[in-house]
Amino acid sequence: MPAELTYESTLRELATDQGVLRYHEAGEGPPLLLLHGSGPGVTGWRNFNGNLARFAEHFRCLVLEFPGFGVSDPTDAHPMMAAGGAVIRFLDGLNLGQVDVIGNSMGGIIGTQVALRNPDRVGRLVTVGGMGRNIFSPGPGEGIKLLMEFTDEPSRERLVRWLHSMVYNPRIVTEEMIEERWRQATDPETLAAARRMYGSKAMAASAKAMAASDEPPYWAMLHKLKAKTLITWGRDDRVSPVDMALVPMRTIPDVQLNIFPNCGHWVMIEQKAAWESAVLAFLTNKEQG
């Protein structure tokens, strides 16, 4: 990564009526919004800092830090419920009309929901695992169960077990990564937000509420998605197994699916070069309109 694309040099703040949103900015050109996933110690910077240099050659990259994950100001709401509103406040605060979006896991779901509700705000959409629903595999997946165990009773051992479920190659999980994640995941406010999302009681309550709701889940409305979409997935994903891609792949009107071998949940990290090439080819293909 070029020396200028450091954490400190790219970090920005945007004051909103619901607290400060922090983000990283790099590059010039059409705006590209990058939305991170969930899990212990996650941040947008940790998800995407390895990809910024290449994308910044073509786009004005904006890596938003969702409220509830320890970087932007905290939220009392369920972090996933707060995220969509944060995206719109962020775009409005920077006077951005339409943007392209890359979303990892939870970020892909949020990007999809924003595109469904505000079709004029999202041009092209790239997702990394996570969206859709389990068809053949049991749900929740192994990685989600490990995430729930950590959230209920945090320990370094449980954090390491969860991190290993995220990847195909265990060497990606370094001591530095473990230490960074542990420090942030055990911050009291961040842990409280995580428990509203992934604690076993919260997950049970969410499942009960969804079963009683008359509102269709987002994945049942994908036929209404206007954005040209690229779904990317790791073939060996143990958090959101690849069969989850079947409903989105079949129901989104204008969609491509790219599955990467020898790859877990973090496609943008484990298959960095191949993933970047596929995403850039999709985002810069003017012939697709």
Assigned token pair, 265? 């949940």
Degrees to nearest 5, angle at CA 39 with 34 and 40: 120
Q: What is the largest CA-CA distance in the chain?
A: 52
Tell me how many helices (H) and strands (E) the chain has: 12, 8
**Locate tokens 């309109």: which residue?**
289
List the catalytic residues.
265
Choose among 120, 109, 125: nearest CA to 33. 125
Residue partners of 100: CB distance under 8 A and separation at least 6: 30, 31, 32, 33, 59, 122, 123, 124, 125, 126, 283
Assigned token pair, 88? 């719109």
Q: How far apart are CA 283 and CA 285, in angstroms?
A: 6
Question: Residue 224: helix, strand or coil by DSSP?
Answer: helix
Q: Are 129 and 105 in contact (CB under 8 A)?
A: yes
Q: Are 166 and 264 in contact (CB under 8 A)?
A: yes
Residue partners of 45: CB distance under 8 A and separation at least 6: 7, 24, 63, 65, 71
Q: Are 39 and 162 in contact (CB under 8 A)?
A: yes
Q: How far apart are CA 31 and CA 62, in angstroms?
A: 7
